[in-house]
Amino acid sequence: MARANGTLFTLLGIVTCFILIGGIHGANILCLFTSISPSHLVIQMSMARILYDRGHNVTVVTTLKSPIPIDHTNINHIQVEISEEDKQMLSSLFGDMAKTDNSNVVLSMFRSFKKVSFIFNKVAGTLTDPLVRNLYENKDNNFDLVIVGYFMNSSPMAIAHKLKVPLIVQVCNPPSDITAGRMLGNPKELSYVSAQYASANEGEQTFGKRFANIFTSLGVNGFMFFVDKTNEQNYYKLVGDDASFPDYADLNKNISLVFFASHAPSEGPIRPNVPGVIEVGGIQVKDQPDPLPQNIKEFIGNATNGAILLSLGSNIKGSHIKADTMQIMFKVLSKLKQRIIWKWEDLDNTPGKSDNILYSKWVPQDDVLAHPNIKLFITHAGKGSITEAQYHGKPMLALPVFGDQPANAAVMVSQHFGLSLSLLTLEEQQFYDSLIEVLENPKYTQKVTKFSSLYRDRPLTARESVIYWTEYVIRHHGAKHLQSPVVHMNFIAANNLDIYALILVVLLISFYTTKISIIWLYGKCKTKTSKSAQQKVKVKRN
């Protein structure tokens, strides 16, 4: 009997332990992943999947179809679809960008401002969609946490304020000026941290580099100023004069922490971050790759000379790229001894047929890159794609198009993980030579393999970090204690400009009073000496 009791107590103890340790299992989490970019959604849906695998009740709002399969019995998915008209607009925007030189981020941002701002309006629009409205107005929804996927518009954050629950933000780039800086008061450190989206702080921080960086920062922040003005107008148009919605300017001020799709200890830049910066780069990479579709599996599996994956991302379609460029690419690729998987959406209209090329509408990129026969990845240099190649240790040939891609490609090249060419000016010989160089010179594979082991070596994996920090915020009902005071300070106070101004005034006053006194004293002495000189003259005459 006593023994039975003992066992019972032990059992009870174990159960209590489980309840205490995992006390926030089964929290109710609302994710607002309204970005119009499928590559963002890949990262975001991976996070949602991790959270529901952990046992939380996850509700996800998206504007796009999920690019990764989701199990609807576990996840409550609400899609606020964008109209056909909007989809066309979006496609033409990406098409235009593919035809212009976007190597200067700031210029490229301003050039596309009008069209891009339409995207932000769409994101804001979901705020008052009846399906979403029900989520925050229906009192039966007891959410514990809101996670917002941020893309240049803070409007969705209003929902956390409406629900009065903690807010976590998710960003698909490294902590930059316009995200970590504006949301968490992260230091800018412009003398050695690039103000562009992605950049390791390699090389010497020369005068020219620092000079340019200050202007890049001004440009990027200027751009965000205009974007936020547009966002703000749209926000008030949507919420009207409903006082239960916070001011647009206050939306960024109650964020517990931000998950960034980066990993500074391996990728750089080395810089100070506030504790609310949580880097979970590689979150979309699965610990174990899923099995490949049969045709792809056979095609790569039988590639005795190795295989190449070619994907220009989910935004750029074959039709956006000049026909000549496509022909050049086809001509070169069909001559190679390697097999090529080419992500191509229109299978009736391919650049050409060749035994060594397999066109596929959909490619499970992460799983394909994990395959040992893949020797090279030809990519548009989206952050997600570069991350996956780095994780799996595959060298790259980048053909960047717009947004953060040119900067990502430049960093990748500086790390010697591959080469980069402009898609706008692609030439046959140059494309061929670059391919051969990356395929045959072992230095690229060696460098990226070495990086891969650094990238994977972390105290908590990306998956564990997401779980730990999400539950941390739920456990403590927010993370106000992590917040930097800078978040609530204005520009002048945050930069001590008032104090410098005061010091300057004091210095100027003391300089002028000293100057005046010296002139006065000098004047006095002069009159005195000239008087005594006159006296001497008089004495002499006498």
Ligand X SMILES: *[C@@H]1O[C@H](CO)[C@@H](O)[C@H](O)[C@H]1NC(C)=O
List contacts with ligand X (CB under 6 A).
28, 57, 59, 76, 141, 161, 164, 166, 246, 254, 256, 477-478
Nearest to 397 by CA among 486, 309, 276: 309
Close Cβ partners of 173 (under 8 Å, ≥ 6 residues apart)? 179, 197, 198, 260, 261, 262, 383, 404
Close Cβ partners of 41 (under 8 Å, ≥ 6 residues apart)? 33, 35, 62, 64, 66, 67, 149
Amino acid (1-letter code) at residue 480 = K
CB of 161 to ligand X, least distance (A): 4
Measured at CB, which residue is nearest to ligand X? 478
Nearest to 284 by CA among 168, 184, 178, 369: 369
CB of 477 to ligand X, least distance (A): 6
Q: Which residue number, 166 or 185, has a Cβ lying nearer to ligand X?
A: 166
Residues 266, 455 contacting (CB under 8 angstroms) = yes
CB of 59 to ligand X, least distance (A): 5
Edge-to-edge strands of the sheet including 257-260? 75-79, 57-62, 28-33, 145-149, 167-171, 257-260, 277-279
Q: Which residue number, 73 or 294, has a Cβ lying nearer to ligand X?
A: 73
Q: Which residue number, 246 or 293, has a Cβ lying nearer to ligand X?
A: 246
Q: Which residue number, 356 or 484, has a Cβ lying nearer to ligand X?
A: 484
Q: Which residue number, 27 or 412, has a Cβ lying nearer to ligand X?
A: 27
CB of 135 to ligand X, least distance (A): 7
CB of 60 to ligand X, least distance (A): 11
CB of 256 to ligand X, least distance (A): 6
CB of 148 to ligand X, least distance (A): 13
Q: Which residue number, 166 or 418, has a Cβ lying nearer to ligand X?
A: 166
Q: What is the 3-state secondary structure (H, E, C) of 412-446?
A: HHHCCCEEECCCCCCCHHHHHHHHHHHHHCCHHHH
Residue showing tokens 């790569």:
300
Amino acid (1-letter code) at residue 171 = V
Q: Which residue number, 235 or 359, has a Cβ lying nearer to ligand X?
A: 235
Q: Which residue number, 129 or 433, has a Cβ lying nearer to ligand X?
A: 129
CA atoms within a 13 Å half-sphere pointing along the CA-CB vector of 507: 6
CB atoms within 10 A of CB 56: 23
CB of 253 to ligand X, least distance (A): 8
Residue showing tokens 């981020």:
105
Residues 447, 416 contacting (CB under 8 angstroms) = yes
Cα separation, 125 vs 80, in Å, equals: 10
Residues 32, 147 contacting (CB under 8 angstroms) = yes
CB of 131 to ligand X, least distance (A): 12
Q: Which residue number, 30 or 336, has a Cβ lying nearer to ligand X?
A: 30
